[in-house]
Structure 1
């Protein structure tokens, strides 16, 4: 019988970091789909069905928080990642609802802990 792994959707514009996150999640027992832009055609459909999202806050075009709010409710839990943490970022994220925020650069174990914390919050 085939095992079903929770699908984590990654939205990160830096190709190297995107691949590293995807590889880390897969090695940790998750199924992962990675996207480089909020405008990619399959992203919204994948995000709607995902167990958790890992979204970069600062993206060219549609930002991670704006994309998250475009996902129809009930939205999956989310981990936001950013290299620009500060009051402006935290105020921006306050309106999106429950989330986990981690700062770049981060350790793999910290990302996994954040994803697991977000998954525990799932309704």
Structure 2
């Protein structure tokens, strides 16, 4: 798959991290959609096919796990990669139960994220 046409959506409430992830993904050839909250992701008007969703857990409103539950329940869940500072195993277990592709704890190696994205777009 040509990554230049592959859309990766990022939902992250930390603006610096959101921008950094956007830069990393664009530099790696992905198109990006950046959202500061789960609510903004759900309200998006640009409904391009999302090949992968990069998602934090603690988003200030709806959590990343709640967003994942909603998308899975609606049958509209792209592959999901969590990037989070949440160290509690219960979050990782919940994300994996719902079928997340990868669960990366911050700080993470950008190569691990790019490997997970490659797996998502070539699944």
Q: Structure 1 length as normaliser, TM-score?
A: 0.83
Structure 2 residue matching 1:9: 3-state secondary structure = strand
- CA distance in structure 1 between the partners assigned to 2:24 and 2:92 by the alignment: 26
Consecutive unaligned residues in structure 1, runs of 5 or more: none
Matches within 5 A, 1:83-122: 83-121=85-123
Matches within 5 A, 1:22-101: 22-40=22-40, 41-42=43-44, 46=47, 49-71=49-71, 72-101=74-103
Cα gap change, 1:118 to 1:85, in 2 (>3 Å): farther
User: Aligned pair count?
Assistant: 117
Runs of 4+ in 1 over 4 A off after TM superposition: none
- CA distance in structure 2 between the partners assigned to 1:69 and 1:93 by the alignment: 9
Q: Is the Cα–Cα contact under 8 Å of residues 100 and 118 in structure 1 kept in the other structure?
A: no
Deviations 1:6-61 (A, max 9, x none): 00000000000100101111111110010001111217x64x72011000012111
Q: Is the Cα–Cα contact under 8 Å of residues 82 and 100 in structure 2 kept in the other structure?
A: no
Cα gap change, 1:81 to 1:75, in 2 (>3 Å): same
Aligned-residue offset at 1:4: 5.3
Q: Structure 2 length as normaliser, TM-score?
A: 0.83
Aligned-residue offset at 1:99: 2.1
Name the residue aligned to 1:20: 20
Output the aligned Cα RMSD.
Answer: 2.1
